[in-house]
Amino acid sequence: MTYSDAQPRANQIKESVLARRMPPWGAVKGFGHFQNEQGLTQEQIELITKWVDGGIRRGNNPRQLPAVPKFDTTDTQTLVDEHAIKVQGPLVMSRPIVLRGLQPMRVSPDQSIRIMAQLPGGAIEPLVWLHQYETRYGHPFLFRDPLHLPAGTKIQGVPADTVVALLPAQE
């Protein structure tokens, strides 16, 4: 966006940023650790808020403008392949798996879903908490560190009307 695109929408941008609807991530921050997290930092949120509350001023030195950002255009839908394990409802893993992430395939609008792995010893590993996830912004949730899940691990929290693909690490 340019300044002239953003300026008339400044209050809407601020509201969307404070509600964490923008940029669209679709998961609760802090529930799981992801390498591709797209949420804004607290400093970025404060910068946008101060800009709007300060009268949406435009800088007066065109040489101080930051470079136009380049966005990754990788098609994230291709991460679900023949190795993915589609989960619909609870699942008990029959074999060990190294999990690099997961990708929602079908999620009802306005649904809040906490997906967890219960290890055989009873420990709980948070996978992802989907909140206001929109399939039209479909993307995977890739873990910072792959998770080693032993046989007997229970994947919990996936409703019967929802489909989530577990993405195993490729060897």
Do 19 and 85 have their domain in common?
A: no
Q: What is the pLDDT of residue 58?
A: 74
Across the range 104-111, mean pLDDT stands at 87
Going through the chain in order, the beta strands assigned E by DSSP cover: 85-87, 91-92, 97-106, 112-118, 124-131, 141-149, 154-156, 163-168
The CATH number of whichever domain residue 145 belongs to comes to: 2.60.120
Where does a domain end: 64, 86, 110? 64
Q: How far apart are CA 145 and CA 84, in angstroms?
A: 18
Q: What is the pLDDT of residue 131?
A: 85
71 located within any domain: no
The whole-model pTM stands at 0.73
Across the range 21-43, mean pLDDT stands at 80
- Sign of the torsion formed by the C-alpha atoms of 21, 139, 95 and 92: positive
State how beta strands 124-131 and 112-118 pair.
Answer: antiparallel
Do 100 and 142 have their domain in common?
A: yes
Do 83 and 45 have their domain in common?
A: no
Query: How many domains are contained in the chain?
Result: 2
3-state secondary structure of 127: strand
Contacts of 33 (CB under 8 A, 6+ apart): 143, 144, 145
Q: What is the pLDDT of residue 78?
A: 56
pLDDT at 27 exceeding the cut of 60? yes
Do 55 and 83 have their domain in common?
A: no
Do 93 and 116 have their domain in common?
A: yes
pLDDT at 120 exceeding the cut of 90? yes
Q: What is the pLDDT of residue 93?
A: 96
Do 101 and 37 have their domain in common?
A: no
pLDDT tens digits for range 121-168: 999 999 999 987 887 778 899 999 999 999 999 999 999 999 999 999
Do 124 and 47 have their domain in common?
A: no
Do 86 and 150 have their domain in common?
A: yes
- Decide: 28 and 126 in contact? Cβ < 8 Å: no
Do 98 and 157 have their domain in common?
A: yes
Residue by residue, DSSP assigns 21-63 as -SS---B-TTSS-BTT--PPPHHHHHHHHHHHHTT-PPPS-GG
Do 86 and 50 have their domain in common?
A: no
Q: What is the pLDDT of residue 65?
A: 63
Do 96 and 141 have their domain in common?
A: yes
- Sign of the torsion formed by the C-alpha atoms of 43, 45, 48 and 51: negative
pLDDT tens digits for range 43-82: 888 988 998 998 887 766 767 666 666 656 555 555 788 8
- Domain extent, residue 97, equals 76-168
Q: How far apart are CA 119 and CA 152, in angstroms?
A: 7
